[in-house]
Structure 1
């Protein structure tokens, strides 16, 4: 484990130390500094739809910024990310977040799922209506009607691989290597879903065609703003 961390630290050294300007003939642009990120969060034309690591290009800047801060501050935990970010300033992380948010992204084609008609109806009910009896808001109420996310802090749900979605739900429901001990609104929601519903949602989402754009923050109801207060307040001042 220590050996693998040393390898990652070696690859990331240019990014972690970029805040200090050193005389060099090599280019020192943000494009060059973030190349280390692409080792895991690969370019759109190289992404494997079964990969665990998510794409970060084109996601809302506030969301990316929050995740970087959470890794640095221990709210989420993954050792290579924690080490990479431990001495990075908020300002520099925001610059990185805004860089990746500005990048275009070509979404993969939908994947045909194997869900039954009853499972599809159940998922679509959760997506569009939620379940008030369990205090479950509709997925579209938070992530936008097109499920493309809400600027600047809520990510979209489409174009993500099944493996990543399943792992994220597992982390929210049970705790895991990529999730810290600080609960957020998604962890509370995920724990109210059954395992069968989680499995069906993680299969249904990659099968949906991608269309539409990020929604504006004004689509969120006052109840949802209150519910995810910690996420929204952390993104104050971020516009992308």
Structure 2
């Protein structure tokens, strides 16, 4: 091959960077993991790398079922999944604008109560007690809850409730979701989607709060 042809071939070759490698994620999750307009493709950016890694492993190994993700990750080794998780955890794109709730004002108020205060009578802890006061998650494995579509949040809470999404025992999210009524789920999802994200999306530090219940995936 001539020098000129070799230079042309090198110029056409995609850069070997994580940004280039994760372009396959962009169609569903956005170029920087910021999410898209599709209700069921979540924001990935700024979530703790430990949480993202656990979800990639769960999709690869079949604990979470979504065929495109299961297929995409089927042969990826742990070390590479770590790199993907770390890449998206470091991204800091802005949050999408809040979405006006499609439920009643009373239901939105109920959602705010559950998120900020919980419901002691029904043994439901506040979302902020685990996901942080700013709802940006907590290192190493608790995700942020803002910048997500209401439909996605509702679907995930339903999956936790009915056991189609699982975690290491004791499965705290299953326990919490099982105590929520259908209206509670709609309320929480609507309030979160209608809430603006903070300027700093970084998750809270590990050990910054004591969790209100035992979680197998997030040991104290």
Q: Do they superpose with TM above 0.5?
A: yes
Correspondence for 1:72 among 60, 72, 80: 60
Partner of residue 141, structure 2: 153
Instruction: Summarize deviations over 1:146-199 as a string: whole Å, max 9, x none.
Output: 1111122111111111221122122222355xx369773212211110001111
SS in 2 for 1:54: coil
Shift of 1:107: 0.6
Is 1:200 the counterpart of 2:187? The answer is yes
**Aligned: 1:231 with 2:214:** no
What's the offset of the Cα at 1:47?
A: 4.9
Q: Which runs of 5+ in 1 are unaligned?
A: 1-23
Give the one of 75, 88, 91 matched to 1:100: 88
- Tell me the distance in 2 between the aligned counterparts of 1:145 and 1:174: 27
Say how many residue pairs are matched.
206
How much has 1:28 moved relative to structure 2?
2.1
How many angstroms apart in 2 are the aligned matches of 1:159 and 1:181?
A: 23
Per the alignment, do residues 82 and 182 of structure 1 end up closer, same or farther by CA in structure 2, a change over 3 Å counting?
A: farther
| TM-aligned CA deviation for residue 115 of structure 1 | 4.2
**Structure 2 residue 142 is matched with structure 1 residue 141:** no
1:186 to 153, 173, 180: 173
> Could you tell me how far 1:71 is from its partner in structure 2?
0.9
C-alpha contact 1:50 1:162 (8 A) present in aligned 2: no
Among candidates 198, 202, 221, match of residue 210 of structure 2: 221
Q: Deviations over 1:107-147 (max 9, x none)?
A: 11112224444323322221122123322111100000111
In the aligned structure 1, how far is the partner of 2:40 from the partner of 2:59?
17
Q: Which residue of 2 aligns with 1:62?
A: 50
Pair 1:128-2:92 in alignment: no
8 A Cα contact 1:110 1:209, kept in partner: yes
Cα RMSD over matched residues? 2.6
Q: In 2, distance between residues paired with 1:120 and 1:97?
A: 33
Supply the distance in 2 between the matched residues of 1:150 and 1:127 (Cα, whole angstroms): 15
Matching of residue 112 in structure 1 with residue 100 in structure 2: yes
Q: 2: CA distance between counterparts of 1:46 and 1:222?
A: 27
Q: Distance in 2 between matches of 1:147 and 1:57?
A: 14
Going by fraction, where is helix more abundant, 1 or 2? 1
Contact 1:65 1:94 in 2 (8 A): yes
Structure 2 vs 1, CA of residues 74 and 182 (structure 1 numbering), >3 Å: closer, same or farther?
farther
Task: Give yes or no for contact 1:123–1:200 (8 Å, CA) kept in 2.
Answer: yes
Partner of 2:70: 82
TM-score (norm 1): 0.76
Which entry has the higher C-alpha Rg, 1 or 2?
A: 2
Cα 1:68–1:115, aligned 2, differ >3 Å: closer, same or farther? Answer: same
